[in-house]
Amino acid sequence: MAAVDLSKLVEEKRFWVASFLAAALLFTLSRYAAAPSSSPPPSPSYGHRLNALVDLTLVYDRGAVCLDGTPPGYHFLPGFGDGSHNWLLHLEGGSWCRNFKSCAQRKQTNLGSSDHMDTRAEFVGILSDDQSQNPDFYNWNKVKIRYCDGASFSGNVQHEVKNGTDFFFRGQRIWEAVMADLLSKGLSRAKQAFLTGCSAGGLSTYIHCDDFRALLPKTRTVKCLADGGFFLDVEDISGRRYMRAFYNDVARLQDVRKKFPHCSSDMEPGQCFFPREVAKSISTPMFILNPAYDVWQVEHVLSPQGSDPQNLWRNCRMDITKCSSKQLEVLQGFRKALLDAIDEFKTRREWGMFIDSCFIHCQSMKAITWHSPLAARINNKTAAEAVGDWFFDRREVKEIDCEYPCNPTCYNAVLDEPYKED
């Protein structure tokens, strides 16, 4: 990009930042004043109207329950116009629980119990019904599937009791029960269908993509999108493979290895859970949407608790502009590990990817990062535009951004506390 173009782009971005932060504040204040206490604080729509609030539907199936035994649920927004026969499903994220202690804590939250879930969810980003925010899928039937099993919808353990407390590891059954319910409500007649998910829900999308395709044998187009879900099996800054050890615990606790027949017998169970392994056996067209400097992975995979006893990475974890030159070298190595891991999928003609150089996480579920004047662009395309081009076969999409800090359009997170998933 020529210097004069870069200067204009930066000035334009500053203008949009000022304009839209002001608009976002007005949207938020007016919406918050009218929102019931059971509703989450709203996000700015960056469109011409407010975001939809969608009621929670519970699925009553005795075999399919959350960690605490309560029924799972989803939020359904019907489509309209020429999108009324198309379906987009989104699998919620929220990390994992690796042992009975962490799962017991999780049972007291919306990630382990429908008793703690908001009765309504705000549909933004790829779930928005506003064309200016979600140009290709705004009028589709859209579903947000709540995550309450702690293992990316993959566990299937009959019943566990620890210290007199019941635990239900039924993610696979939740997946099957919710799909059965949605099929009866019109999904079975879909002309086009799109399974998406972010973070732990992105991993779920890799795991269930072919399962989803098998449910819809007569549907013309079925594809999948994993956003911020390509977790890496790499050494952290202390030289340990923290994430593999974490996944080993999850896999053993919920007996998920049997879900992955592709996994060789000489691999640790946690290795089977990484997207690089899961994706090898996927035959359905898949889109990989990932930042090269995923803020969640920088904190939890690259520099997890215990790896940085002197807390030298604290500022870098919170704000990439505060990283030292040595820390940036480590981050560039992390980016290279991601590119190496996805390299084998570049040759799959029906697959797409959008790997930007931003410090962010879950870009499809935020209005500002999915499709707005502030959204990151690669070759002048937002993530929403790139995904739409790929889904509708308008062009081949294999977008790989340059190294940080090359892209001035990036919307980079600046945290004031450790990162938590949406």
The pLDDT score that the predictor gives to residue 28 is 37
The pLDDT score that the predictor gives to residue 62 is 82
Asked if residue 304 belongs to a domain, the reply is yes
CATH number of the domain bearing residue 143? 3.40.50
Q: Which of 212, 404, 218, 421 is nearest to 327 (CA)?
A: 404
pLDDT at 11 over 50: no
Asked if residue 20 belongs to a domain, the reply is no
Residue 19, token pair as written in the block: 């304009």
Mean pLDDT of 159-171: 86
Model confidence at 282, pLDDT cuts 50, 70, 90, reads: very high
Catalytic residues: 199, 294, 361
Asked if residue 25 belongs to a domain, the reply is no
Model confidence at 262, pLDDT cuts 50, 70, 90, reads: confident
The whole-angstrom separation of Cα 259 and Cα 171 is: 11
Asked if residue 177 belongs to a domain, the reply is yes
Determine the structural domain holding residue 367 and report its residue range. Answer: 38-400
pLDDT at 177 over 50: yes
207 or 3, which is more confident?
Answer: 207
Residue 417, token pair as written in the block: 């506390």
The pLDDT score that the predictor gives to residue 161 is 81
pLDDT digits (tens, 9 = 90+) for 64-120: 999 999 999 999 999 999 999 999 999 999 999 999 999 999 999 999 999 999 999
Other beta carbons within 10 angstroms of residue 221's beta carbon come to 15
The whole-angstrom separation of Cα 234 and Cα 276 is: 12
What does DSSP assign to residue 88? E
pLDDT digits (tens, 9 = 90+) for 339-367: 999 999 999 999 999 999 999 999 999 99
Instruction: State the amino acid at position 410 in one-letter form.
Output: C
pLDDT digits (tens, 9 = 90+) for 20-75: 444 443 333 333 333 333 334 455 555 556 899 999 999 999 899 999 999 999 99
Query: Is the pTM value of this prediction over 0.85?
Result: yes
Asked if residue 363 belongs to a domain, the reply is yes
Asked if residue 14 belongs to a domain, the reply is no
Asked if residue 13 belongs to a domain, the reply is no
Model confidence at 420, pLDDT cuts 50, 70, 90, reads: low
* Rounded percentage of the chain residues whose pLDDT exceeds 90: 81
Count how many domains the chain has.
Answer: 1
Asked if residue 416 belongs to a domain, the reply is no
pLDDT at 243 over 90: yes
The pLDDT score that the predictor gives to residue 343 is 97
